[in-house]
């Protein structure tokens, strides 16, 4: 039952069965009998990015001779907090300045890159820096800015119980570290330009 993604579904299902027992449940009752397998498959989906390389997401590039900022905003993010294994969700905004040849990637590939890193056990800070570093490393971007804005269910539904609290993280690389360029990029990233 090991699947191509590398997740050992049989072992994961057995662990979920054990967890149900530890929690005082009867894993053989009607409603729970398929749950261990289901949860194992759901985790395999949530952690699919562990088996993907960021360069795969960015493999399609186009020579469009564009050497200025490109921004993809409001990319929906569903990730999993590695401390509690519960979701955090929100949006990512990604901007980059292409390499000297003006080589850009497909717009959807930016969202695919976000997915590669979101579908792993994560903390929001690492998610943010991994996206930025991958654009420099695999696309040769001369400048990168990434802002991630998420609500962590580990803070909303349990623990400190503060629903609605947002965590905002940013990572800036290369030419966009220049204060003036950075401020301009940040304002574009955070503005609602469609209204």
Residues that bind Zn ion (CB under 5 A): 81, 83-84, 154
User: What's the min distance (Å) between Cβ of 40 and ligand GTP?
Assistant: 23
Is-catalytic flag, 81? Answer: yes
Catalytic residue among 25, 52, 84, 175: 84
What HEC string does 97-161 produce?
ECCCCCEEECHHHHHHHHHHHHCCEECHHHHHHHHHHHHHHHHCCCEEEEEEEEEEHHHHCCCCC
Q: Is 154 annotated as a binding residue?
A: yes
Q: Which residue is nearest to ligand GTP (CB)?
A: 159
The Cβ-side half-sphere exposure at 6, using a 13 Å CA radius, reads 7
Q: What is the CB neighbour count within 10 angstroms for residue 130?
A: 21
Is-catalytic flag, 66? Answer: no
Shorter beta-carbon distance to Zn ion: residue 15 or 154: 154
Binding positions for ligand GTP, rule: CB under 6 A? 81, 83, 123-125, 152, 154-155, 159-160
Shorter beta-carbon distance to Zn ion: residue 83 or 166: 83
Catalytic residue among 25, 151, 154, 175: 154
Q: Is 93 annotated as a binding residue?
A: no
User: What's the min distance (Å) between Cβ of 2 and Zn ion?
Assistant: 28
What HEC string does 42-69 produce?
HHHHHCHHHHCCHHHHCCCEEECCCCCC
Binding residues: 81, 84, 154
Active site residues: 81-84, 124, 152, 154
């Amino acid at each position: 039952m090991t699947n191509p993604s590398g997740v050992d579904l049989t072992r994961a299902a057995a662990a979920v069965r054990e967890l149900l027992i530890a929690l005082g449940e009867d894993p053989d009752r009607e409603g729970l009998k398929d749950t261990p397998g289901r949860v194992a498959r759901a985790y395999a989906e949530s952690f699919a990015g562990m088996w993907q390389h960021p360069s795969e997401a960015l493999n399609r590039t186009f020579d469009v001779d564009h050497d200025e900022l490109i921004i993809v905003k409001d990319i929906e993010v569903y990730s999993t907090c590695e401390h509690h294994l519960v979701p955090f969700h929100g949006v990512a905004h990604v901007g980059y300045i292409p390499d000297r040849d003006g080589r850009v990637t497909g717009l959807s590939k930016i969202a695919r890159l976000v997915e590669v890193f979101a579908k792993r056990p994560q903390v929001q800070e690492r998610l943010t820096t991994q996206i930025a570093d991958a654009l420099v490393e695999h696309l040769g971007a001369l400048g990168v800015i990434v802002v991630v804005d998420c609500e962590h269910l580990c803070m909303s539904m349990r623990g400190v119980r503060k629903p609605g609290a947002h965590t905002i993280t940013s990572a800036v690389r290369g030419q966009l570290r220049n204060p003036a360029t950075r401020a301009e990029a940040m304002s574009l990233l955070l503005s609602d330009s469609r209204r």
